[in-house]
């Protein structure tokens, strides 16, 4: 019988032990084990207690920290009779921030004794909470630095010179030729936070700026990474056009040292950038672990490990590109213009912009298919055709797995005045095992086949019913909304009046669990003032158009309203 995955059969094992050679081999193995065990045991003889200094750091710094931990351990460090051994490993900073801020699972293995994130911004985010402020020191010490840069291949067409690039290059429409823009999710990396802050500074504030910000987030979200970006997975691009990427300068150096394919150039925005400072942060107030952490820090600041960090592409703690790093052609040795603005409200604002705009959606779409939708727009396409086009375009703004439902509105469907489309109307379930297509794909197919049913839309009755539906199925992890595409005329077809609807919505609207109404009225005869009051009752908005070319901008504007909910002004 052939040996199984667990080794030879029992009879074969006994045969080995009975043979003279087998006995000699076993004896030799025991001697080897004793040779290892005795010195290790001796290391612990003088220890009243043995503890482990857990060090968490970034993926890019882990090799150096592991080497330093090994040397630290070779010195058999003892503090007041306690033997301390260092263990270094990579751990995502957002996980540690969550744990220290009191939002973790309570597993102590997630809480390190020393934390070296990429930036002090993580320290500030952690200290926002009371538990985080108690846990970590207030004056972390930088181990190295690396500015956040843009990067692209050296010969990339349309990319400005390294010293003439602007943060505007990452905006849609500013990349020529059109190319993807890759960055880390701002919740996972300060380089992503830096990009969001820079875009907000360029765009400013106001409705137009929020619409442009929505366009940016929608554009880059598809190519967003959820951890440190490995540039070997980005370049060369299989799509033919190499992306523009936001990364630490160190990542560019490391990439170029590891591969000769598609050499990259670091690009330094003229508006300034953020310098990552890789702070050395002690956690907790245990004097033994603090003393051990201080000794490990001193070791890391010595020439040996500072040289190792330089070899990996990091700058010195003061921003200097020392040694061979300063002679490279893929970076600019002189420290770039940096700023310290990514703190406080600016830091939180960068995250809030991204989180609100990229948050998953739970939406119920109401499509008016009443007789009012059959008339054309100034001799052009019908209201219904424009609505169908709007629905198709709007669906591209939502991810494939968005929770979406669809109701068609017309008194021709019976007393309810609606057709809750089979298999689609129930909110949720986009990840059902029996689903042959995503919810967005299914809605897109149905929208293409919508036709005018005739009759009246019973707008006010159905708006209230839809609002109740979404309210009852509220999901705190998603943006909950009702989207109405309509000619904008109820025609007295509802049992409730417009005033009764507004009063009911005002009563139901909960700022802590907001469900918002977004209404797009197509044509030149909607009850504009009445619909505006309906939308405003839910911190939503009304958009009126008779120009099909405005639909794209309208959808971006409606999504951008996420940035002000629940305190939007019409």
Q: Which two tokens stand for residue 173?
A: 């429409």
Q: Stretch 328-347: mean pLDDT, rounded?
A: 89
Task: Output the CA torsion sign for 123, 124, 126, 130.
Answer: positive
Is residue 389 predicted with pLDDT exceeding 90? no
> What integer pLDDT is reported at residue 444 of this predicted model?
72
> What integer pLDDT is reported at residue 327 of this predicted model?
93
A 10 A CB-CB count for 186 gives 25
Q: Who has greater pLDDT, 269 or 15?
A: 269
Q: How far is CA 510 from the centre of its chain?
A: 27
Q: Stretch 249-254: mean pLDDT, rounded?
A: 97
Q: Stretch 246-264: mean pLDDT, rounded?
A: 94
Highest average pLDDT, of 184-198, 434-448, 540-554, comes from 184-198
> What integer pLDDT is reported at residue 86 of this predicted model?
97
**Side-chain-side CA neighbours of residue 458 (13 Å):** 23
Confidence of residue 266 (pLDDT cuts 50, 70, 90): very high
A 10 A CB-CB count for 224 gives 20
Confidence of residue 497 (pLDDT cuts 50, 70, 90): very high
- 328 in helix, strand or coil? coil
Q: Which residue has the tokens 């907001």?
A: 514
DSSP state of 160: P
Beta bridge partners of 247: 149
> What integer pLDDT is reported at residue 58 of this predicted model?
95
Ranking 106-120, 147-161, 284-298, 438-452 by mean pLDDT, the lowest is: 438-452
Is residue 42 predicted with pLDDT exceeding 60? no
Is residue 44 predicted with pLDDT exceeding 70? no
Mapped to the 3 state alphabet, what secondary structure does 170-219 carry?
HCCCCCCCCCCEEEECCCCCHHHHHHHHHHHHHHCCCHHHHHHHHHHHHH
Highest average pLDDT, of 38-52, 76-90, 123-137, 543-557, comes from 76-90
Is residue 552 predicted with pLDDT exceeding 70? no
Q: Stretch 384-393: mean pLDDT, rounded?
A: 76
**Side-chain-side CA neighbours of residue 227 (13 Å):** 10
pLDDT in tens, 413-446: 999 999 887 544 455 544 444 445 566 677 777 7
Is residue 458 predicted with pLDDT exceeding 70? yes
Written as one string, the DSSP assignment of 544-566 is EES-GGGHHHHHHHHHHGGGTTT
pLDDT in tens, 274-321: 999 999 999 988 999 999 999 999 999 999 999 999 999 999 999 999
Written as one string, the DSSP assignment of 388-449 is HHHHHHHHTTS-TT-EEEEEEE-GGG-TT-EEE-TTTSSSS-TT-TT-SS-HHHHHHHHHHT
pTM of the model: 0.71
> What integer pLDDT is reported at residue 562 of this predicted model?
65
CA–CA gap between residue 167 and residue 148 (Å, rounded): 11
Q: Who has greater pLDDT, 180 or 19?
A: 180
Is residue 346 predicted with pLDDT exceeding 90? no
Q: Stretch 3-21: mean pLDDT, rounded?
A: 38
Confidence of residue 18 (pLDDT cuts 50, 70, 90): very low
Q: Stretch 137-142: mean pLDDT, rounded?
A: 84
pLDDT in tens, 91-110: 999 889 888 877 544 445 67
CA–CA gap between residue 431 and residue 316 (Å, rounded): 48
Q: What rounded mean pLDDT belongs to the chain? A: 82
Query: 247: buried, middle or exposed (CB in 10 Å: 19+, 13-18, 0-12)?
Result: buried
> What integer pLDDT is reported at residue 196 of this predicted model?
94
> What integer pLDDT is reported at residue 153 of this predicted model?
94
Is residue 561 predicted with pLDDT exceeding 70? no
Q: Which residue has the tokens 């590109």?
A: 321
Domain annotation for the chain: domains and CATH numbers: 49-137+279-313 (3.40.190.10), 146-276+339-353 (3.40.190.10), 359-563 (3.40.50.410)
Written as one string, the DSSP assignment of 40-68 is HHHHHHT-SEEEEEEEEE-TTTHHHHHHH
pLDDT in tens, 462-471: 999 999 999 9
> What integer pLDDT is reported at residue 352 of this predicted model?
82
Say what percent of the chain tops pLDDT 90: 47
Ranking 156-160, 342-346, 498-502, 531-535 by mean pLDDT, the lowest is: 342-346
pLDDT in tens, 351-368: 888 887 777 778 888 989
Q: Stretch 256-270: mean pLDDT, rounded?
A: 92
Q: Who has greater pLDDT, 139 or 184?
A: 184
Is residue 203 predicted with pLDDT exceeding 60? yes
- Name the nearest CA neighbour of 406 among 390, 416, 391, 396: 391
Strand ordering across the sheet containing 114-116: 78-79, 82-90, 49-57, 114-116, 279-282, 141-142
């Amino acid at each position: 019988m052939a040996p199984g995955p667990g080794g030879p059969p029992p009879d074969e094992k006994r045969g080995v032990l009975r043979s003279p050679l087998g006995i000699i081999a076993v004896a030799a193995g025991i001697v080897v084990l004793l040779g290892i065990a005795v010195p290790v045991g001796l290391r612990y003889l003088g220890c009243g207690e043995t503890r482990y200094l857990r060090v968490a750091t970034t993926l890019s710094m882990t090799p150096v920290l592991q080497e330093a931990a090994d040397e630290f351990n070779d010195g058999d460090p003892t503090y007041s009779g306690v033997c301390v051994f260092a263990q270094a490993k990579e751990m995502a900073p957002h996980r540690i921030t969550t744990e220290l801020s009191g939002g973790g699972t309570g597993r102590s293995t997630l809480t390190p004794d020393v934390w070296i994130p990429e930036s002090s911004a993580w320290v500030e985010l952690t200290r926002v909470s009371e538990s985080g402020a108690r846990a970590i020191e207030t004056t972390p010490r930088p181990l190295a630095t690396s500015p956040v840069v843009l990067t692209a291949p050296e010969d990339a067409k349309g990319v400005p010179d390294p010293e003439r690039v602007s943060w505007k290059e990452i905006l849609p429409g500013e990349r020529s030729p059109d190319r993807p823009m890759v960055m880390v999710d701002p919740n996972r990396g300060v380089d992503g936070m830096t990009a969001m802050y820079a875009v907000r500074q360029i765009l400013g504030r106001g409705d137009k700026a929020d619409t442009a910000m929505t366009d940016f987030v929608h554009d880059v979200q598809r190519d967003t990474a959820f951890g440190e970006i490995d540039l070997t997975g980005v370049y060369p691009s299989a799509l033919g056009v190499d992306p523009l990427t936001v990364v630490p300068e160190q990542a560019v150096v490391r990439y170029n040292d590891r591969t000769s394919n598609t050499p990259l150039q670091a690009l330094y925005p003229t508006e300034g950038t953020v310098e990552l400072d890789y702070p050395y942060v002690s956690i907790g107030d245990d004097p033994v672990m603090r003393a051990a952490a201080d000794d490990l820090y001193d070791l890391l600041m010595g020439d040996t490990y500072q040289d190792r960090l330089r070899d990996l592409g990091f700058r010195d703690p003061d921003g200097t590109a020392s040694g061979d790093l300063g002679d490279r052609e893929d970076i600019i040795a002189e420290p770039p213009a940096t700023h310290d603005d990514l703190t406080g409200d600016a830091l939180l604002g960068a995250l809030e912009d991204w989180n609100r705009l990229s948050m998953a959606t739970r939406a119920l779409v109401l499509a008016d298919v009443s007789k009012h939708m059959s008339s054309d727009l100034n001799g052009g396409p019908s209201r219904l055709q424009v609505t169908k086009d709007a629905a198709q375009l709007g669906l591209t703004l939502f991810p494939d797995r968005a929770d979406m439902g669809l109701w068609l509105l017309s008194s021709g469907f019976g007393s309810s005045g609606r057709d809750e489309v089979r298999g689609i109307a129930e909110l949720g379930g986009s990840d059902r095992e029996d689903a042959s297509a995503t919810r967005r794909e299914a809605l897109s197919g149905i929208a293409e086949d919508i036709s005018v049913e005739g009759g009246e839309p019973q707008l006010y009755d159905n708006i209230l019913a839809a609002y109740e539906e979404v309210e009852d199925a509220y999901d705190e992890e998603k943006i909950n909304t009702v989207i109405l595409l309509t000619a904008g005329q109820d025609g007295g077809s509802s049992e409730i009046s417009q005033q009764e609807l507004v009063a009911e919505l005002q009563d139901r609207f909960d700022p802590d669990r907001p469900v918002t109404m977004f209404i797009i009225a197509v044509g030149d005869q909607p009850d504009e003032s009445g619909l505006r009051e309906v939308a405003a009752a839910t911190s939503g908005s009304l958009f009126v158009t008779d120009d099909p070319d405005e639909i794209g901008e309208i959808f971006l504007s409606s999504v951008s309203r996420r940035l002000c909910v629940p305190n939007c002004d019409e």
